[in-house]
Chains A and B, each alone.
With several copies, the nearest count.
Chain A
């Protein structure tokens, strides 16, 4: 049921909401997270962010995360879009959209989905600083902790 996409193009949140909700009257709320490129890291200006991924594995990993969310909450739809390629500060990186009859399920599922996307889907970010230097972003322990609070993924 989940709609999962990896793309270089930008996404439009309203269009994704409309696509998910088209013709439906059972949805009471949408929990949404949009991640964007920040213009600095560790106090240094960033000129671009490059997103790399492992194509053969990515959609499978994202589908597993979505399936786990659908197992844990009564979702009526779920959209995951992750951009790859060169992105500029202010641009969108990722969209997580979870629809449910009830707001708490929608919000909890959205939080779960982004926490797990950050720790269990094969994407890597490289920052280009204004100085011209490149840096592969380090994984954050805080992200692992955020994902771990949901317990292990059980989907197979």
Chain B
């Protein structure tokens, strides 16, 4: 699964992009976020419960219950601030 990070998430995690192999029980955005928290201090801080983190699966905005599968591109980022 390809994971992308933008804005302060990218800075806090220290990379904009990585390939991850997730366990079988990680099959939604919500379970992916919970799994991310356990990957180390930087991930724990970035995905802390109080942070507002948005997600897109295959370039579409996605809710916590959206399905994620091997081969998907999953992006995490703060609420958008363009315009």
Contact = CB atoms under 8 A, between A and B. Distances in A.
Interface of A: 35, 51-54, 56-57, 60-61, 82, 93-94, 103, 114, 117-126, 136-140, 143
A90 to B, nearest CB: 17
Nearest to B61: A120
B56 A139 contact: no
Contacts of B81: 118, 123-125, 136-140
Interface string B49-83: 00010001001110000000000010101111111
Interface residues of B, number: 18
Contacts, number: 74
B22 to A, nearest CB: 21
Given A56-B73, A122-B77, A117 B82 contact: yes
A53 B82 contact: yes
A142 to B, nearest CB: 12
Contacts of B73: 56
Centre residue among B7, B77, B80, B83 by max chain A CB count within 10 A: B83
A139 B59 contact: no
Contacts of A138: 79, 81
B55 to A, nearest CB: 11
B6 interface: yes
A82 B7 CA distance: 17
Contact of B75 (A51, A54, A120, A136): A54
